[in-house]
Amino acid sequence: MMNINQTIDHTNLKPAAARADIARLCAEAKQYGFASVCVNPCDIPDAVALLADCPVKVCTVIGFPLGRNTTAVKVAETKDAYAMGCEEFDMVINVGRLKDGDVDYVRSEIAAVVEAAGGRTVKVIIETGLLTDEEKACATRLACEAGAHFVKTCTGVSVGAATVEDIRLMKANVTGNVKLKASAGIKTREAALALIEAGADRIGTSAGVAIVE
């Protein structure tokens, strides 16, 4: 039987998150056996130290939240996070370039971040709330072609939230062993289970404790 705890990326990306908040996040992740904690880049060293004695991974965000940084900046962020001990990287695509139809740009940028991550897990945030169904399918395929390990729905900062319909659409367009992460607006156990049933392998949420309890 599936353990929902092991699907959760326990998240605190708030701009005012203090060290005490990150310590609490890590303690909860250890207590409940979550998959990872997802924190802003400046919080990586604290999270790595706090989770050194357990299997919970440290995840960070790249190009967050707009995805409008240059590729060079996203690559530098990834390398910096890698050097600090980060194990998973959730990168935001350049949605505008996708809407331009510049698929080569989007694909090559994802591939550059994947290379910078040195074999560690890269999750590609396509920001579903800003996309048509055709664009969601295209972005999912591009992430797979570029070597990503996961395709993720949303940042939770822009419009939109994870939906069963989007996960199903993305599932229909993934190739190889690429997995799916549903993120944004997931507050209840019922919502999380519905997304997992639709095909999500990870759940990104700041409500992890409420969901499992």
Q: What is the pLDDT of residues 179-196, one digit of tens each?
A: 999 999 999 999 999 999
Contact 126, 107 (CB under 8 A): no
Which two three-digit tokens encode residue 152?
């993720």
Q: Write down the residue that tokens 């990834």 correspond to.
A: 78
Half-sphere exposure at residue 41, Cβ-oriented, CA atoms within 13 angstroms: 17
Is 8 domain-assigned?
Answer: no
pLDDT of residue 1: 55
Position 22: which residue type?
I
> Which residues, in sequence order, are CB contacts of 51 under 8 Å at separation 6+?
26, 29, 30, 37, 57, 58
Residues 101-124 have a mean pLDDT of: 98
Is 155 domain-assigned?
Answer: yes
Is 7 domain-assigned?
Answer: no
Q: Which of 123, 136, 152, 179 is catalytic?
A: 152
Spatial distance between the Cα atoms of 61 and 117, rounded to a whole number of angstroms: 12
Active site residue 152: yes
Structure letter (DSSP) for residue 93: P
Is 2 domain-assigned?
Answer: no
pLDDT of residue 135: 98
Q: Which of 123, 136, 179, 181 is catalytic?
A: 181
Is 208 domain-assigned?
Answer: yes
CATH number at 29 reads 3.20.20.70
pLDDT digits (tens, 9 = 90+) for 6-38: 999 999 999 999 999 999 999 999 999 999 999
Is 11 domain-assigned?
Answer: no
Q: Domain tally for the chain?
A: 1
Contact 5, 32 (CB under 8 A): yes
Q: Which of 90, 136, 166, 179 is catalytic?
A: 90
Cα distances from 21 to residues 11, 33, 57, 60, in angstroms, run: 11, 18, 17, 16
Does the pLDDT of residue 46 top 70, yes or no? yes
Which residue range is the domain that position 143 belongs to? 16-212
Active site residue 90: yes
Is 3 domain-assigned?
Answer: no
Cα distances from 133 to residues 127, 136, 162, 170, 171, in angstroms, run: 12, 5, 14, 9, 13
> Is the four-CA dihedral 203, 89, 13, 68 of positive or negative sign?
negative
